[in-house]
Structure 1
């Protein structure tokens, strides 16, 4: 949640013919060079092309039967623009080869064109289609790696092409749209076989949530900005000292020439950020990019929290905010397609970047059960490309409802995309420091005072995935195999302080909590370590497997503070890995030393 509490056929009769469906999908399947982002209007395709595509097959979007059976209250207007994403299947062997072993040398990565020729749809196929055909009255954008494409077109056009209509359902207290359950979207089988996921033809998946909230009553707004955060809050200097970030800073590593990419569903107030930056001595660069919109989303607490954490711990870093507008969830829009667009834009911006050792931090999520398979698959592939192709580590907060991400007590569930095997899932703790500022104690962050409904205060998210039923081979070590294990992906992987952190928001200092803070804390530590490794060894590390490899090589140089007290309202903390705090919180100097020895 943000700092402010959040709650959670007619056919088109125009000139577009069924053969245009074939055209769109063949064009999708044959996307070429990423520099040509918008298809130009061309003559209507011949019927021969449609016939050549072979038999049609229904597209299963994986929407639950209960949703499809829900009462229909209307149809989407034909003139409504739908934003649709198409993700293509890739060669996993190629991805694994590009991903190497989680270590690389800056400048070693292949250029976008070379990677696209290995991963993406063939340029030859695209060029043949493009020569004769185009898409009129639609905007098509393709990525440089040719693994993803988006289409913006009228609902009526999509309905006619896909032989369906788009209907509005009401289920419980929510409204959403889907293709008509009696008329599933139809695609040429030859094209459907090349597609991994299609999103945006429905918005059944619940919109992602903000994951930050105040932990104490708000102080009055101050007339003048200052740096007095007030008592009983954890300052960035205290976090830096508790976890050893300050020891890396003493060696001259503050994030210079290093980039942290943030994915946000709200904006930030420049005045708030400016005051915080001045207080912590931020000398880096802040850049924001609007996704799928020309305007910035309204300021919110989530983006503010993320920016504050990074600025305080990596004060010379380059922060890029990829922001999309959560308010569009209330219209005919699938917000998860927008979130994936943000991930794709990071890929796009780094496709020709020769291994910058950048990282990604994401502080949003939703219970897996409320996600469609299309959204899961599309984002999973984007995270895979970010990790294996772009050589970035992606940190994602594990959620703030303890073991019950569905917000229903005793309904064990975990948060996506934190549950994704290409994510480093980050849980939360309560950190105590002594009078000298040293780390004194750390327990699991949780709060069971009100179990009627989670308002993102139940604590550190963790548990067993129901979407990723095969635990990654690299997820092994002391505590990983336990009485709850069932072979599925387990989370979180690691954790950091997530309670009473000092944030400057809406003209006042407030204490904020949530695993939203823990993800950027770890992201900041990662770029400091990689900055040092590049300076000393000319290499850097990335990916989720790294965190288990380090834990299993520590000898007497422990890279984590093992949190052994508390629980997340179901799973108790214990020695080694656990479902509340993962492997533990960062002991950054020791973590760095292990990486240095293995560089």
Structure 2
């Protein structure tokens, strides 16, 4: 009998609001995503320290070099193959560069292989009801894989994340003073450098829904912008599947594509569709980061969930993929959430992950007023007022706060978060967000979804807005900006400092704050700093 070890961080507690409603069919086939340790971890850590410090002497690794030097060791993959064979599992896919092996087998085989019990649960969380396959307790691995396997994801397929967009309520549109902006108008207000993103690829991660080519065609035509090349890439049975409901994931998918495409029409947009589970989410980001065909230089993520709903194994595995992105010179922009300082967690203050990873540019939200919204007038429109996005209890607010999962990054050392009661506390963990942009649905983005002209806000819109800015900068420079955080914090005046408003527990202040970070972009200054 071989010795078994619990996989650190894989423990699943019995969640409130869930109950077992039945057993899983032991003959049902599923796929499980296994992530392995990195070769030469100490050397990689030393490289990351230099990247995090903004060392100008560090050049991004090629995807080939990352795979060879810091991918999974061949002997580690061989051990997983032997383990799979011993339990009747088959290898559906292996990717040494991404340090991942996708295993396929029956529920009975996986229960035996990892010593878990899989059951059907009913959940009622965050206003959603549904069923998922779940487990409680820890996953166990045999002695020879102890320390080799970092995460086993997909045994459990509960919905992991939610999209961070908000549609303007219909009654709000009747208010005379409400305005909306097209993405090119916002690019102009935020003084983005000229450019069309030619030669760049922007990756977009989606956990459901889809887009209609007819919507995109007519939207870009209405803006007088040439339609970008949009590629749909299916990950783990995911695919472009619009369901005709603009209030669902279709709204997210279409919003992301229309913002990026309107600002960088000559860039290729690669949309990675997957299922909404921690395994699907992680695999889609990993596939985008390691994609040797499309090679995105920027990736936009508008989905996330409070840190507390992630297992530590999935958060650490995900963070490790985001580290790889930084080493490759891929910038990742992530929405910080739309539920203020609580992140909709229902208990106390929380930040949203993956925005709280120190390897992403976390994007918060503002509410924007501008003079003369006609982008064609000369001189062009200008920002008259910009405050923290907070539309009240029902309306949504910029996600932001202090991480309990990640330490203070070197580029945030010495910063403090100002609370709404006037006090100020030195950061005890990674501060969120880093930057911001227009996110209130009341001053939102005019888009076309499922044939309907709609105004949408949310930090979901800010991630693709910043991604499009970085793509313009990359195209102009002829090289990727890469991991931008250290450079932005060294030049904080590249952002429009937001000093009014709050997101619940945290208040805006001069300099960085836990509502809007360094502020909204002055695109030309950002370009100069990068």
Please list, as runs of the form range in 1=range in 2, the aligned pairs for 1:114-153 lying within 5 A after superposition: 114-124=65-75, 126=77, 134=85, 136=88, 138-145=90-97, 147-153=99-105
Cα offsets for 1:89-142 (capped at 9, x unmatched)? 224433345555357899973452x43342233225656986999575634311
1:547 equivalent in alignment to 2:497: no
Aligned counterpart for 2:428 among listed residues 487, 495, 508: 487
TM superposition shift of 1:546: 2.7
Asked whether 1:427 is paired with 2:379, we answer: no
2:298 maps to 1:359: yes
Q: Residues 264 and 427 (structure 1 numbering): CA distance in 2 closer, same or farther, change over 3 Å?
A: same
The answer as to whether partners of 2:414 and 2:427 remain within 8 angstroms in 1 is no
Question: Within the alignment, does 1:87 sit opposite 2:35 as a pair?
Answer: yes
Which of 372, 390, 399 aligns to 2:311? It is 372
1:439 to 383, 386, 411: 383
Q: Confirm whether residue 321 of structure 1 aligns to residue 271 of structure 2.
A: yes
- Give structure 1 stretches of 5+ with no counterpart: 1-50, 221-229, 327-334, 451-456, 552-557
Q: TM-score, normalised by structure 2?
A: 0.85
Farther-moved stretch of structure 1 (278-287 vs 508-517): 278-287
Superposition CA RMSD, Å? 3.2
* 2:217 equivalent in structure 1: 274
* Cα deviation 1:291-336 (Å, max 9, x = unaligned): 112743335100111111112221221111001244xxxxxxxx11
Gapped regions of structure 2 (runs ≥ 5): 244-249, 373-379
**C-alpha displacement at 1:582, in angstroms?**
0.3
Find the partner of 2:231 among 279, 287, 307.
287
Q: What is the rounded CA distance, in whole Å, between the counterparts of 2:238 and 2:354 in structure 1?
A: 26
Aligned residue-pair number:
496
Of the three residues 158, 170, 173, the one matched with 1:217 is 170
The CA distance in 1 between the partners of 2:18 and 2:238, in whole Å, is: 35
User: Where does residue 416 of structure 1 map in the other structure?
Assistant: 353
Contact 1:431 1:443 in 2 (8 A): yes
CA-CA distance at 1:418 after TM superposition: 0.7
Q: TM-score, normalised by structure 1?
A: 0.75
Question: 1:243 pairs with 159, 176, 190, which one?
Answer: 190
Measured in 1, the distance between the counterparts of 2:181 and 2:239 equals 34
Structure showing greater Rg: 1
Structure 1 position 406, deviation (Å): 2.8
SS of equivalent residue, structure 2 residue 340: coil
Check whether the contact 1:143–1:348 (CA below 8 A) recurs between aligned residues. Answer: no
Residues 154, 241 of structure 1: alpha-carbon distance in 2 compared, 3 angstrom cutoff: same
Report if the CA contact (8 A) 1:95-1:385 is conserved. Answer: no
Q: Does residue 391 of structure 1 match 2:329?
A: yes
**Whole-angstrom CA distance in 2 between matches of 1:231 and 1:496:** 17
**Residue 149 of structure 1: how far off its partner (Å):** 1.6
From the two aligned structures, give the one with the greater strand fraction.
Answer: 2
- Relative distance call for 1:214 and 1:430 in structure 2 (3 A) is same
* Cα separation, 1, equivalents of 2:56 and 2:233: 28
Q: Of 111, 119, 123, which aligns to 1:159?
A: 111
How far did residue 364 of structure 1 move? 0.5
SS in 2 for 1:568: coil
CA–CA separation in structure 2 for the residues paired with 1:301 and 1:539: 29
